[in-house]
Amino acid sequence: MNALAATNRNFRHAVRLLGLDSKVERSLMIPFREIKVECTIPKDDGSLVSYVGFRVQHDNARGPMKGGIRYHPEVDPDEVNALAQLMTWKTAVADIPYGGAKGGIGCNPKDLSSSELERLTRIFTQKIHDLIGIHTDVPAPDMGTNAQTMAWILDEYSKFHGHSPAVVTGKPIEIGGSFGRDAATGRGVVYGTEALLAEHGKSIKDLRFVIQGFGNVGSWAAKLIHERGGRIVAVSDITGAVKNPKGIDITELLNHRESTGSLKDFHGGETMDPDELLVHECDVLIPCALGGVLNRENAADVKAKFIIEAANHPTDPEADEILSKKGVIILPDIYANAGGVTVSYFEWVQNIQGFMWHEGKVNKQLRRYMTRAFQNMKNMCKSHDCNLRMGAFTLGVNRVARATLLRGWEA
């Protein structure tokens, strides 16, 4: 089942639990706006090349739309639609005043020089500048984009609208980015994990963790878990996988990857088959990479008691059912990885106020938001006698539905 079908299925289940009207259901499902633009740029060799750029703006009942811009050769419109919708529910679960959006350009950033990427980003911004904005739609980095991409968007947008640092988040610190933004998603994953474990009378200290994906989110989560006394027994990324039953020294692993660009040949652990990582012996499994990695083929063999969905849509609905029957507790993606968008919100607030926060305040507020959202999600689980995924979906969908009805959607 693809990401869009799975998101729609979870959404419809939440609608049934909430007893929402079919007209409201249809209204909440259909995107507010879908934008598709042609972006033609001169390459460094003087030839012209065209790319297709797009933006799906899903819902703005609770505030400006919010979501990443990705540069990837196989940008799938269905997946982007699903991720835009997921952002609507995610921002509502975190209780930040946004709706959902997502977008990008169908290109391979590895094939483009820095100057070509800059030209492409500026052309894309020229095409959509009147459809994004501080109080309309606020983009952020995603797959294949970064703080530099956001700086180019800010600069190009500001040519049309005056200096507008709040038009994008995930910017470099020097031009209005927030302290703590780089670690935010991984830190949010750890705060969410602490809240879940506390509910079951446990703590991170001395539990065994497996982390799939060692990019920004996975490496920050690993570092913070290691600092809290958690034992990380296996880690993987696209370069390979490492295990050590006594626990991997994450600082050493980060240094090794920094110097070699790979997890291979790390002396603090043994090499393992990356395919076996998800079913490795552990207490807590944290998938931080791709969607659909837990499916009906491997779900029955998962040994973890808790799964923390740091990636978007890592668990297929079929796997969800198998894992639930085994008694595995899953902390859903729309809550677990909401730390990034929460600190993006803090960045937006700081830019609007023109008053920047120190990192301690950012982290303290992030913990407050993640802890509060967990309690709200648990309350929905009790009200509707459902698991955490449906607790999160009912919480998010209900908030958006209420905002939609209060604003007078039939007018």
**Residue pLDDT, tens place only, 40-58:** 999 999 999 999 999 999 9
Is residue 36 a known part of a binding site? no
User: Are residues 100 and 217 both part of a single domain?
Assistant: no
Residue 321 in 3-state DSSP?
Answer: helix
Q: Do 384 and 17 touch, CB atoms closer than 8 A?
A: yes
- pLDDT-above-90 percentage for the chain: 86
In a domain, 325, yes or no: yes
Is residue 344 a known part of a binding site? yes
User: Are residues 93 and 159 both part of a single domain?
Assistant: yes
HEC profile for 77-126?
A: HHHHHHHHHHHHHHHHHCCCCCEEEEEEECCCHHHCCHHHHHHHHHHHHH
User: Are residues 151 and 234 both part of a single domain?
Assistant: no
pLDDT value at residue 78: 79
In a domain, 382, yes or no: no
Give the CA angle between residues 198, 199, 205 to the nearest 5°. Answer: 25
In a domain, 276, yes or no: yes
Of 36, 102, 202, 303, which residue is the catalytic one? Answer: 102
Give the CA angle between residues 367, 84, 59 to the nearest 5°. Answer: 90
pLDDT value at residue 310: 95
pLDDT value at residue 275: 87
Is residue 66 a known part of a binding site? yes
102 catalytic residue (yes or no): yes
In a domain, 53, yes or no: yes
Task: Give me the domain span that covers residue 187.
Answer: 182-336
In a domain, 373, yes or no: no
User: Are residues 100 and 239 both part of a single domain?
Assistant: no
Strand partners, 210: 234, 285
Per residue in 210-237, pLDDT tens?
999 998 899 999 999 999 999 999 999 9
To the question of pTM greater than 0.75 for the whole model, the response is yes
The tens-digit pLDDT sequence of the chain (411 residues) is: 677 788 888 999 999 999 999 999 999 999 999 999 999 999 999 999 999 999 999 999 999 999 999 998 888 787 788 889 989 999 999 999 999 999 999 999 999 999 999 999 999 999 999 999 999 999 999 888 999 999 999 999 999 999 999 999 999 999 999 999 999 999 999 999 999 999 999 999 989 999 999 988 999 999 999 999 999 999 999 899 999 999 999 999 999 999 998 999 899 999 999 889 999 999 999 999 888 899 999 999 999 999 999 998 899 888 999 999 999 999 999 999 999 999 999 999 999 999 999 999 999 999 999 999 999 999 999 999 999 999 999 999 999 999 999 998 654
In a domain, 408, yes or no: no
User: Are residues 330 and 222 both part of a single domain?
Assistant: yes
Q: Could you tell me which of 343, 291, 283, 342 has the C-alpha nearest to residue 312?
A: 291
Domain-ending residue, one of 336, 369, 404: 336
Domain-ending residue, one of 336, 365, 388: 336
User: Are residues 199 and 300 both part of a single domain?
Assistant: yes
Residue type, 403: A
User: Are residues 270 and 154 both part of a single domain?
Assistant: no
pLDDT value at residue 410: 58
Is residue 378 a known part of a binding site? no
pLDDT value at residue 411: 41
pLDDT value at residue 409: 65
- CATH at residue 79: 3.40.50.10860
User: Are residues 46 and 155 both part of a single domain?
Assistant: yes
- CATH at residue 202: 3.40.50.720
Q: In the numeric block, which tokens belong to residue 265? A: 């040949």
Domain-ending residue, one of 312, 336, 360: 336
User: Are residues 161 and 199 both part of a single domain?
Assistant: no
Question: Structural domain tally of the chain?
Answer: 2
Is residue 223 a known part of a binding site? no
